[in-house]
Amino acid sequence: MTVHAPLPQHTQTAAKRGVWEVIKDYMMTTDHKKIGLLYIIVSVLGFCLGGLLALAIRVQLALPEQTLLVGTAYNQVLTMHAAIMLFFFLIPLGLFGFGNYFLPLQLGVRDVALPRLNTFAVWLFIASLILVVLGLFNGGAPSVGWTFYYPLTMDGNQTGVSVFMVAVILNGLGSLLGSANFAATIVNLRAPGMGLWKMPIFAWSLFATSILQLLTLGGLTAAALLTYLEIKLGLSMFNPGIGGVPVLYQQFFWFYSHPAVYVMLLPYLGIGAEVASTMARKPLFGYRVMVYSILAIVLVSCIVWLHHMFAVGVPEAWQIAFMISTLIVAVPTGVKIFNLIGTLWGGRILMRMPTYWLIGFIFNFLIGGITGVSLGMIPFDYQVTMSYYVVAHFHNVMMFGTAFLAMAGLYYWWPKMTGRFMDEKVGLAHFWLFMVGSWLTFLPQYILGLLGMPRRYYTYPSGNWAWTELNFASTVGAFLLLLGGLVMLWNMFQSFKRPITAGPNPWGGFTLEWTSSSPPAAYNFAHDFPQNFPTERPLYDWEKNGDTLTPVDPKSIHLPQDSIWPFMTAFSLLLMGYGLSFGWFTNYDPAVGLKPFADASLSFKIATAVLYLSFPVFFYSLFKWAGTREYAVPVAHHHLTKYDNGFMGMAWFIISEVSLFAILIAGYVYLRVIGAAEPPALRPNIWLAALNTLILVTSSGVIHKAEQDLHHGRASWGRLGLFITLLLGAIFMIFQVYEFALFGTESDWRQNLWQSCFFIIVGLHGLHILIGGTGIALPYYQALTGKMDKYNHGSIVPASLYWHLVDVVWLLIVAIFYAW
Ligand code: HAS
Ligand code: HAS
Ligand code: CU
């Protein structure tokens, strides 16, 4: 390629900036690369922290009857180890760390579709981590395992559990916004000429993973929300004391948490494929087949979750159905592995660090995948479930499977991100320490599992055949991993002492990120691309055809302005989360209900104050955000569809809202059908619901009209329409609160499952009315302050789409709670 971007300015000035300057920069940035780096840094820290906790576990289990970590303390360390590794390392690193950094670069664009939403999402993610850490000092770590099974969560350390539930919900919200943003970016913003079928395979992986998140994350949200509500208010769908079904918790949880393992796997498989193609100097073997396999994995992985519950006692027919789907999901996964091998096969393989990690992955993952298939066989699973065989399986696919591809990605893109190489020799030491360390740590655990050692126990007796030896070996392995981890950190730090030598395309890669400078300038590319994309390897094709890049004057490029308000909005949700975890609601006692405020402790009162404080901060920040323009100067946006980015992002996000309500409603319908949730004699008034339906449907019509008016430049009519919609929403809420107050005093939700379901689902809908109303208030405010004109419609389009959703959900609610 003949044209390269000039070296970015900021790398020269970076050293001179103070720490606070840098932090402020990252708080306000809308740059997808910096946001990606934030995710990557937190994830690497997460791995280290989670790993240190794992070491504590291994030290305790090195020999029989140790006393380093006993009982609850052990369970706390175990829970934190797993939760940190999953939610703050493996899930965010691939999808949002590498994803944010490289998706726009690979698509040849300057940023994601909604840059400020991206800032908000990353800080929400960090807020959730801060909340988890605050929880350690205020209530202590939960001690129930990362699965948070019911009814374990109802015993003992409830504050520790509930803060975690709030953190999971915040984390999930950030995750969903990020996923919707990626999907919108892919659909709306690719370099001109790059069709979907010419996207790099990593971009496809992100697309598929984002969709998977949007479809299924509602399961985790539902599980966390219900756990929280039962702890804080006694609202339950699981409590067997009132006819609830505890296993329903597991259905909700695994409905997400099985797909979550593919959320971990898919982005990394994408990285693996990029590495394979570049390092073998070949096109991908079966690009299209790979894409179909990814999509097949997305579909099938939504219907295999019951394999985590074979031993729970669900009907046999269901078990068999889920066994079959579990076996089926191995097929596209296997196809992907064969594709990787096929890509490497016969290539002039460049044996550098990324290649080592890739080959290590293929080798290890085969073992882990096949033991996964063995667990999918019901009779075998009955024998080994809850044993170390399972522990060995999932570390095999995660630690010395997927995480190896994470390392491949780190080494592969390190020169792009930093302009520097990591040392190959040191890297090799890192690789072999991880390889041998993992085998030594986890392969013995397969045998331990077969010998009957159960998981989630803090100790074991001496005298069981080979248990002591195998456990000891496992602990030695873990220390090799520690050594490997230290070597990795050292390699990273050392590389910064070297000069910037990487050049734009150090490995001779074929995708667009390799045309930006290393590290890339803020604007990514100081050139336009040729518009023909014969294959998914444009650089190869263009080289062959003699196509060149067209230089662009960087001064003519406009980027979104920095803004502190997305950060502040995320911060307000941290305050809110803190208040909800430790404040007002905490005063609930199952025996007596809410206790008087006056009796509460000081820290509790402070947290309550924080909760109330969070609301003005939230609204102030959000309105400030909506009131500042994304770009300092008017910029012509190009998008590939006729829909603007706001609409596109919202359309994708709504999938997750539909999924959340669908999951909760499915739970209720199930409880109703099996006769567990019987409506009380006195039910909420159908006439009030009918009136409310009328109000909401009208409001949907009104906002639609307002949208049309704004589009056609009839500003004052549009404003009036928005005002009327808000008014109707408010009237709806007043009726709803009236009804809740009436119905809440007539009978007790802690005594009646139907009523409990009613308050959970209808209450959640009420919350959505508030959110939707806030959403409408934003364009109203924009219209009032003259931020809208014929060409710029502010956030009216997504707000109105969301409002229609809330409306449709209400119709469903009327059907199942009022009419049925
Ligand atoms: Fe898994 C438990 C089944 C892949 C992660 N898994 C877990 C847990 C985690 C996890 C975290 O059916 C435990 C959670 C907890 O704390 O309780 N898993 C599978 C299957 C696959 C699989 C069938 N798992 C993953 C990946 C993960 C992950 C990927 C994270 C990144 N897993 C289970 C089951 C349980 C389970 C049970 C529950 C156990 C219990 O009792 O609790 C597949 O996606 C793997 C497919 C990949 C391959 C390798 C390449 C394929 C080739 C094709 C030819 C091979 C064939 C198989 C056709 C299969 C090359 C031949 C079969 C022979 C036996 C020879
Ligand atoms: Fe694990 C259970 C051992 C890695 C995930 N693990 C789980 C569970 C999950 C999970 C989901 O041997 C199930 C939890 C449950 O039942 O609820 N695990 C290990 C070991 C490693 C390890 C030895 N795990 C992972 C990864 C995961 C993951 C990666 C997901 C992505 N894990 C266990 C064991 C159990 C277990 C037992 C079962 C226990 C039971 O009772 O059932 C290693 O691969 C970790 C290697 C990493 C390191 C860290 C290197 C650290 C460095 C930092 C040094 C920095 C310093 C400076 C000194 C050894 C390089 C200070 C730094 C700061 C950041 C402050
Ligand atoms: Cu699974």
204-213 pLDDT tens trace: 999 999 999 9
Question: What distance lies between CA 211 and its chain's CA centroid?
Answer: 11
- Is the minimum distance from the CB of 397 to ligand 1 under 6 angstroms? yes
CA-closest candidate to residue 48, choices 484, 497, 496, 495: 484
Q: What is the DSSP string of 616-648?
A: HHHHHHHHHHHHS-SSSS------SSSS-HHHH
- Is the minimum distance from the CB of 308 to ligand 2 under 6 angstroms? no
- Is the minimum distance from the CB of 83 to ligand 1 under 6 angstroms? no
Residue 602 corresponds to which amino acid?
Answer: L
To test the ligand 2 pocket, which listed residue (58, 85, 440, 483) has its Cβ within 8 A of the most ligand atoms? 85
- Is the minimum distance from the CB of 487 to ligand 2 under 6 angstroms? no
Task: Compute the distance from residue 328 Cα to the ligand 1 centre, in Å.
Answer: 11
Percent of the chain with pLDDT over 70: 96
Both tokens of 545, joined, read 């055809």
Residue ranges in 523-601 assigned as alpha helix (H): 538-545, 565-582
- Is the minimum distance from the CB of 398 to ligand 1 under 6 angstroms? yes
The partner residues of 528 in beta bridges, in order of sequence, read 550
Asked if 626 and 778 count as a contact pair (C-beta separation under 8 A), the reply is yes
pLDDT at 516 over 80: yes
CA-closest candidate to residue 133, choices 72, 82, 84, 173: 84
Task: Compute the distance from residue 52 Cα to the ligand 2 centre, in Å.
Answer: 7
d(CA 397, CA 391): 10
Both tokens of 390, joined, read 């399972």
Average pLDDT (295-310) is 95
- Is the minimum distance from the CB of 372 to ligand 1 under 6 angstroms? yes
Q: Which residue has the tokens 């597991």?
A: 250
The partner residues of 158 in beta bridges, in order of sequence, read none
d(CA 86, CA 81): 9
Asked if 190 and 109 count as a contact pair (C-beta separation under 8 A), the reply is yes
- Write down the pLDDT at residue 688: 87
Q: Is 594 helix (H, G, I), strand (E, B) or coil?
A: strand
Name the more confident of 501 and 431. Answer: 431
pLDDT tens figures, 269-302: 999 999 999 999 999 999 999 999 999 999 999 9
d(CA 151, CA 221): 17
H or E segment at 221? helix 201-233
- Write down the pLDDT at residue 6: 44
- Is the minimum distance from the CB of 482 to ligand 2 under 6 angstroms? yes
d(CA 165, CA 224): 5
pLDDT at 130 over 90: yes
- Write down the pLDDT at residue 442: 97
Q: Is 756 exposed, middle or buried (0-12, 13-18, 19+ CB in 10 A)?
A: buried
Residue 800 vs residues 557, 726, 763, 771, 782: alpha-carbon distances, Å: 32, 11, 21, 12, 14
Asked if 181 and 653 count as a contact pair (C-beta separation under 8 A), the reply is no
Residue 687 corresponds to which amino acid?
Answer: W
Give, using CA atoms, the residue closest to atom 47 of ligand 1.
Answer: 369
CA-closest candidate to residue 615, choices 570, 583, 571, 576: 576
Counting every residue, how long is the chain?
Answer: 820
pLDDT tens figures, 590-604: 666 667 777 777 888
CA-closest candidate to residue 667, choices 151, 250, 318: 250
To test the ligand 2 pocket, which listed residue (78, 87, 129, 153) has its Cβ within 8 A of the most ligand atoms? 78
The partner residues of 54 in beta bridges, in order of sequence, read none
- Write down the pLDDT at residue 105: 97
Q: What is the DSSP string of 742-789?
A: HHHHHS-TTT-HHHHHHHHHHHHHHHHHHHHHHHHHHHHHHHHTT---
Give, using CA atoms, the residue closest to atom 44 of ligand 1.
Answer: 330
- Write down the pLDDT at residue 593: 64
Q: Is 613 helix (H, G, I), strand (E, B) or coil?
A: helix
Q: How many CB atoms lie within 10 A of CB 273?
A: 26
Average pLDDT (458-487) is 96
pTM over 0.85: yes
For the chain, the average pLDDT equals 92
Q: Is 354 exposed, middle or buried (0-12, 13-18, 19+ CB in 10 A)?
A: buried
Q: Is 466 helix (H, G, I), strand (E, B) or coil?
A: coil
- Is the minimum distance from the CB of 280 to ligand 2 under 6 angstroms? no
d(CA 620, CA 461): 59
Q: Which residue has the tokens 């890669």?
A: 509
Residue 677 vs residues 422, 465, 661, 756: alpha-carbon distances, Å: 60, 50, 18, 9
- Write down the pLDDT at residue 591: 65
- Write down the pLDDT at residue 437: 98
Residue 79 corresponds to which amino acid?
Answer: T
pLDDT tens figures, 620-660: 999 999 988 888 877 777 788 888 899 999 999 999 999 99
Q: Which atom of ligand 1 is nearest to the CA of 401?
A: 31
Radius of gyration of the chain (CA): 27
- Is the minimum distance from the CB of 68 to ligand 2 under 6 angstroms? no
H or E segment at 551? strand 550-551
- Is the minimum distance from the CB of 51 to ligand 2 under 6 angstroms? yes
The partner residues of 99 in beta bridges, in order of sequence, read none
Task: Compute the distance from residue 329 Cα to the ligand 1 centre, in Å.
Answer: 9
Average pLDDT (355-378) is 97
Compute the Cα dihedral for 292, 293, 298, 302 and give only its sign.
positive
- Write down the pLDDT at residue 10: 46
- Write down the pLDDT at residue 1: 42
pLDDT tens figures, 69-93: 999 999 999 999 999 999 999 999 9
d(CA 350, CA 73): 47
pLDDT tens figures, 488-507: 999 999 999 988 888 999 99
Q: Which residue has the tokens 């070296």?
A: 7
Give, using CA atoms, the residue closest to atom 57 of ligand 2.
Answer: 48
Q: Is 387 helix (H, G, I), strand (E, B) or coil?
A: strand
Average pLDDT (354-365) is 97
- Is the minimum distance from the CB of 472 to ligand 2 under 6 angstroms? no
Dihedral (Cα; 180, 615, 806, 219), 10-degree rounding: 60
The partner residues of 589 in beta bridges, in order of sequence, read 593
Ligand nearest to the CA of 254: 3
- Write down the pLDDT at residue 588: 64
pLDDT at 3 over 50: no
Backbone phi and psi for residue 614, each to the nearest 5 degrees, phi listed first: -65, -30
- 5-14, 125-134, 414-423, 485-494: lowest mean pLDDT where? 5-14
Q: Which atom of ligand 1 is nearest to the CA of 373?
A: 23
Give, using CA atoms, the residue closest to atom 7 of ligand 1.
Answer: 394
| β-strand pairing of 550-551 with 527-528 | antiparallel
d(CA 709, CA 596): 51
Task: Compute the distance from residue 372 Cα to the ligand 1 centre, in Å.
Answer: 3
Angle between helices 565-582 and 115-137 (to 10 degrees): 30
Question: What distance lies between CA 750 and its chain's CA centroid?
Answer: 33
Instruction: Look at phi and psi of residue 524 and say left if phi exceeds 0, alpha if psi is from -120 to 50, else beta.
Output: left
Residues 6+ apart with CB under 8 A from 555: none
pLDDT tens figures, 226-274: 999 998 888 999 999 999 999 999 999 999 999 999 999 999 999 999 9
- Write down the pLDDT at residue 317: 95
pLDDT at 13 over 60: no
H or E segment at 27? helix 19-28
- Write down the pLDDT at residue 599: 73
- Write down the pLDDT at residue 590: 61
Ligand nearest to the CA of 263: 1
- 112-116, 195-199, 444-448, 643-647: lowest mean pLDDT where? 643-647
pLDDT tens figures, 703-743: 999 999 888 888 889 899 999 999 999 999 999 998 888 88
CA-closest candidate to residue 452, choices 475, 431, 470: 470
- Write down the pLDDT at residue 639: 83
Percent of the chain with pLDDT over 90: 80
Backbone phi and psi for residue 84, each to the nearest 5 degrees, phi listed first: -65, -45
Compute the Cα dihedral for 40, 41, 42, 45 and give only its sign.
positive
Helices and strands (DSSP H and E) totals, the chain: 26, 4
- Write down the pLDDT at residue 748: 80
Enumerate domains of the chain plus CATH numbers.
Answer: 258-405+424-462 (1.20.210.10), 678-820 (1.20.120.80)
Average pLDDT (190-217) is 96
Angle between helices 753-784 and 645-673 (to 10 degrees): 170
Backbone phi and psi for residue 387, each to the nearest 5 degrees, phi listed first: -115, 175
Give, using CA atoms, the residue closest to atom 13 of ligand 2.
Answer: 82
- Is the minimum distance from the CB of 145 to ligand 1 under 6 angstroms? no
Q: What angle do CA 195, 198, 203 make, to 5 degrees?
A: 100
Q: Is 574 exposed, middle or buried (0-12, 13-18, 19+ CB in 10 A)?
A: buried
Give, using CA atoms, the residue closest to atom 52 of ligand 2.
Answer: 48
pLDDT at 12 over 60: no
pLDDT at 669 over 60: yes
